[in-house]
Structure 1
């Protein structure tokens, strides 16, 4: 009974995972979320595999210590490196964002030509082409690392400032004949308006958040973990970065004030005072 009313633990390298949180709220409005965004060490995409694994498991271990009933790795880079090891490490369900995004792209493409943009680490891992080809061998892929995008989102720059950077970064992929583009980083949907403007209206943008939330819903039902507490859910957002900046970006994206607290799990014991939801 207590486990059913526990929060869903969500982690990301920064604010990008809020796109997944928003979709969880939409599809599962009764569930509580405990979110950890490691903005201090963001972006993960340019770090070594060892650093990504260390930071990711530090965050996941902390969320598990807080009694969450499920983990969502709302970061493509962390999913690419850590999803399978995490499923072996923990006894609760662990959901990533790459498989859901790949399924959505296969469902959307008409000409079987799919673009993939992501961090350098995600693109180097080849996780999206592997996931796509595991389901549909005939998919042709075009991959492009877009290192500036995460920083654009985390810094909260204006669209006027961001647009020329987005345009220059996407230039190598714009002239391909893709009809579908996977936003292979959960930060990127926050730039979706600008990305759509650059690639054109005929390219379908795939945000894995919707399908990821469906996976969360499936596993909650499968494991009999849906929340039954009749009280309104309360969500807590933890960040290793500047809490006010995180709260501002989060409110702009999710449309409501957030309970944001500073916490850097790198410098604390996982058995520290329990977070009050």
Structure 2
């Protein structure tokens, strides 16, 4: 995502382009020296930005990272809250040496699997980057005086390069 966002920022300097990053820093708050599990895509785990963030956090935590492509596949198949997701997560997490104190959801698809993660992991705190991304968007829009006036209703436009994906996006959005 980083090379794409850099290219888009150059091409559209007047449009704020905000990337998401795994919520590792907030996950540090769960305990002293926590064991943090990052579930992400292989691409996210390969990014230099993630490596730097992980290194920074490993001063105060044990950070384990797992690529979880099956979550994306199951969410896109409409099986985010299903026995198939539970089975996938159990298999994925079985090799962990110890239960995590916190789990970071490092992909935009992964919050849709929260219910399954709770069934498999119990009441482990789950962190995702959505709140931080929303705060950054608000900060930037406010800085540019581009926030909608108080009391007005905003809107959401769903677009996709593959129109056949729109019914899935709408179903996920309505959850």
TM-score normalised by structure 1 residue count: 0.54
Name the CA distance, whole Å, in 1 between partners of 2:107 and 2:69: 11
Contact 1:133–1:139 (8 Å) recurs in 2: no
Aligned to 2:100: 178
Aligned to 1:204: 125
Alignment partner for residue 138 of structure 2, among 180, 203, 217? 217
Q: How many residues align?
A: 171
Unaligned segments of structure 1, at least 5 residues: 1-77, 254-277
Deviation readout 1:109-140 (Å, 9 max, x if unpaired):
53233211111211222543422434673332
Q: Cα distance 1:108–1:94, how it changes in 2: closer, same or farther (>3 A)?
A: farther
Contact 1:119–1:145 (8 Å) recurs in 2: yes
Q: Does 1:233 align with 2:154?
A: yes
Aligned to 1:249: 172
Matches within 5 A, 1:1-277: 78=1, 80-91=2-13, 92-98=15-21, 101-125=23-47, 127-134=49-56, 137-157=59-79, 159-173=82-96, 175-201=97-123, 203-228=124-149, 232-239=153-160, 240-242=162-164, 243-251=166-174, 253=175
Provide the secondary structure at the position in 1 that maps to 2:167.
Answer: helix
Q: Cα distance 1:136–1:146, how it changes in 2: closer, same or farther (>3 A)?
A: closer
The alignment yields a C-alpha RMSD, in angstroms, of 2.6
Q: Cα distance 1:226–1:108, how it changes in 2: closer, same or farther (>3 A)?
A: farther
